[in-house]
Amino acid sequence: MATFHTKDISNDSFLITGGAGFIGGHIAEYLLKNGAGKVRVLDNMANGFETNLAVLKQYPAFEFIEGDIRDADTCNKACEGMNYVNHQAALGSVPRSIKEPVYFNEVNVGGFVNILKAALDNNVKQMVYASSSSVYGDEATLPKVENKVGNCLSPYAATKKTNELYAQVFANVYGIKLMGFRYFNIFGPRQDPDGAYAAVIPLFVKGIMKQTPVYINGDGEQTRDFTFIDNAVQVNIKGMLTDDADAFSKVYNVAVGESFSVNYLYNVCREYLKSDFAATYREPRAGDIRNSLADISLAKKYLGYEPTKRFEDGLKDTIDFFKKMYS
């Protein structure tokens, strides 16, 4: 992975909530590899993995707190002595949110407000947080531009939209430096291929390799701006460490600015794996948007964001990772 910052971070302390998860784990690893003074992870291990923690535990600057963001005291303890907070802890599945809206609200909204308050009370310098492209909802215009959102199509989307509202209020009322990132289909090594709500790319790769059923929802012609994990790490690092006052109190699209259909994705996976294993098509999924493509000019302008790895290169790295895992 490239280096995304020039600032000396050897005296800085960072809290990564959800740091045992996919995106949070990669952010924590980047900071530790690049000499951060302290990297503390808060995770309740509901979506976190011991394998991700094992990567981080080899660094002496790493600290782990097992705890839940729904508990205000835990959040306060986690923010003590931290210069920067990076909030990735959340429940992430659209279909699961439709089944469990109350749970999603407790974690994604209640937990988020707890972290905001704890960051404020502990005089954290800057905080960034994960939002989602799902906030665009039924707004059909492509590419997606940050100031043009539609109606939410799922409880998950509503929780992320609410995060953005709370962040704006905390910035306006308390003066805390905040920014959010609307992720577009982040993928990469160490993403969970198991469980009922696993992400599409690890599911495809695992299914093709193990010859177990692979499902495509709808006709497969829905498009996504698939974004390799390095790009998500880059924007988080640049966002946390920026000195540009104009960069705060905004939400940014985090994507590549290119879109591909799910059918195309599946066929590329098959090509890389030298397989003719066929997918099974089924009903479209409730709450899913049809097409997704991001305008990333805002992040380029204020954060100097520039995607370093595009879809097919990132997909090759991801498939190589899972090939080792399953070989």
| Active-site option among 156, 183, 252, 305 | 156
Distance CA 307, CA 182 (A): 15
CB-based contact 106:70 (threshold 8 Å): yes
Six token digits for residue 201: 């790319």
Q: Are strands 178-183 and 126-132 parallel, antiparallel or unpaired?
A: parallel
CB-based contact 252:299 (threshold 8 Å): yes
Give the number of other CB atoms < 10 A from CB of residue 72.
Answer: 16
Q: Are strands 260-261 and 178-183 parallel, antiparallel or unpaired?
A: unpaired
CB-based contact 87:45 (threshold 8 Å): no
Give strand pairing partners of 183: 132, 254
- The one-letter code for the residue type at 268 is V
CA nearest 129: which of 68, 74, 178?
178
Residues 53-61: contacts with CB under 8 Å, at least 24 apart: 53/20, 53/25, 55/25, 55/29, 55/190, 56/19, 56/25, 56/28, 56/29, 56/32, 59/32, 59/33, 61/32, 61/35, 61/36, 61/37
DSSP letter string, 285-300: PTT--SB--B--HHHH
Helix then strand count (H, E) for the chain reads 12, 13
Is 326 tagged catalytic?
A: no
Active centre residues (catalytic): 156
